[in-house]
A and B are shown apart, each in its own frame.
Chain A
Amino acid sequence: MFKKIFIPILTLSLCLLLLNFWTLGFSSFTVFSYTLKKAGVIPRPFPPIQLIDQDSNIFQIKDKKKYKLVNFVYLNCPFVCHKVNNQLEQIYHKLDNETVPSRLEFITVSFDQENDDLQRIIRYRKYFGDNISGWSFALPYHYDQKSFDAFLSKLGIWKYKIPSTGLINHSIYIFLIDTDNNIIKVFDPARDTNETIISEIKACIKV
């Protein structure tokens, strides 16, 4: 009798244990959420990276002593990246002049090193208007694909290029980084509304 009950319960428990391990405690079912969670709990330091912006300024995220809102895109993206940037554009215009650019800076980084160059990001930035000071569009500076991919996984961004189509499926998280270079919030533009993101940014900056 004991054996009859014990063995199925043991089997079920082992299955649940494996599922729990596989999904990091039943919380990460996709590669996107898994990579983010695996990168560590927030607050955590933003990994070092050297970037070059539309004005050819070379900089590190940690060198900017203000709050930063960082997202990753690629310009050949058919839909999602532009949707996220449109959302960021709305957030940018809803924030007052005292916040952007003096206390907060927007940084959009392209991770398609094969196709995106400075000329392309300059052209792309112009779609958002001429007066967007405090919103930089940047590229990784002197990084080979392997080390840049390592940076992305350290940060918690999943990226996968579909061989048949060349499309890059990737995480669309937006990172809020404080003045000490710590990631303090991660927004998911697919779930978080503009109002939520704005109120969270304001709450963090005021503190």
Chain B
Amino acid sequence: MHKSLKNIINIISILIGIWFISFNFNEWLCLTMQRHQLIQLPAMLLIGFMTGYTYRKNIKPDQTITICILILTIFSIIFWMIPRSIDLAVINEKFNRIMHFNMLIAGFFLYPVLSKTVPEIKIVFLGMMASMLMAGGITLKTYNLLLCSSFTIEQQKQTGLILILVGITLYFFTIFIFLRGLKPEELKEKVNLNDSIHTQ
């Protein structure tokens, strides 16, 4: 009873989230580049991620599928950062829905895949995401040309700056994951060292 109630609440929360981001506030979120790129896109990814977290036990991908999903996730994010895709997502409603659905699906598989994969792949994935965000941010910030016809150059530069900051934060997070991954090995080494001292 409890489990099914929890499931229903989860599904309702997810649907409400999708409705707010993709329908109710869609027009408002498409008004500026910051809202579109820094709120709407990550929000859909986050809703997908939370859905994936909820149903993580039902998804058990093997190593090959994991790598494929990570490739597709990176590709999806690259695709929706291309100025032409951004423009079409703002101008064309159908294209906008495709973007939301794509982000939702990408986020959905992200948690089960990342939680079950080896730290090396996690680090490579996060490192690539951080680099990608920084590169995208630098492009938007430094270009004095309007890249997206749906927005203004000021919005483009502000979005670029925030993307750089997000990329740097993610980069530090990657370093944290990397160091955390190293810790058990160091501990093991210390234990082995202590054991060898005691046996002597």
Contacts and interface: CB of A to CB of B under 8 A. Distances in A.
Given A4-B63, A11-B71, A160-B91, A34 B84 contact: yes
A11 B68 contact: yes
B85 A15 contact: no
Contacts, number: 64
Contact of B149 (A3, A22, A160): A160
A29 B145 CA distance: 13
Contact of B84 (A8, A22, A162, A170): A22
Contact of B68 (A8, A28, A160, A170): A8
A190 interface: yes
A7 interface: yes
B149 A169 contact: yes
Interface string A57-81: 0000000000000000000000010
Contacts of B79: 18-19, 22
A183 B68 CA distance: 45
Contacts of B84: 22-23, 28-31, 34
Interface in B81-123: 82-85, 87-88, 91
Contacts of A3: 64
Interface of B is mostly: helix
Given A11-B72, A22-B82, A23-B82, A31 B149 contact: yes
A148 interface: no
Contacts of B176: none
A12 interface: yes
Interface in B140-158: 144-150, 152
Nearest to A169: B149
B32 to A, nearest CB: 9
Contacts of B85: 22
B20 to A, nearest CB: 20
A126 B31 CA distance: 36
B18 interface: no
A158 interface: yes
A32 interface: yes
B159 to A, nearest CB: 15
A164 interface: yes
A75 to B, nearest CB: 19
B149 A32 contact: yes
Contact of A30 (B72, B144, B147): B147
A49 B146 CA distance: 28
Contact of A164 (B31, B83, B91, B144): B31
B26 to A, nearest CB: 13
B72 A31 contact: no
Contacts of B91: 160
A31 B83 contact: yes
Given A23-B82, A29-B83, A31-B83, A169 B150 contact: yes
Nearest to A32: B149
Given A4-B63, A160-B150, 5 more contacts: A8-B68, A29-B82, A80-B146, A164-B31, A191-B145
- CB-based closest 3 A-B pairs: A169-B149, A15-B75, A11-B68
7 contacts: A7-B65, A7-B68, A11-B71, A19-B79, A30-B87, A169-B150, A170-B149
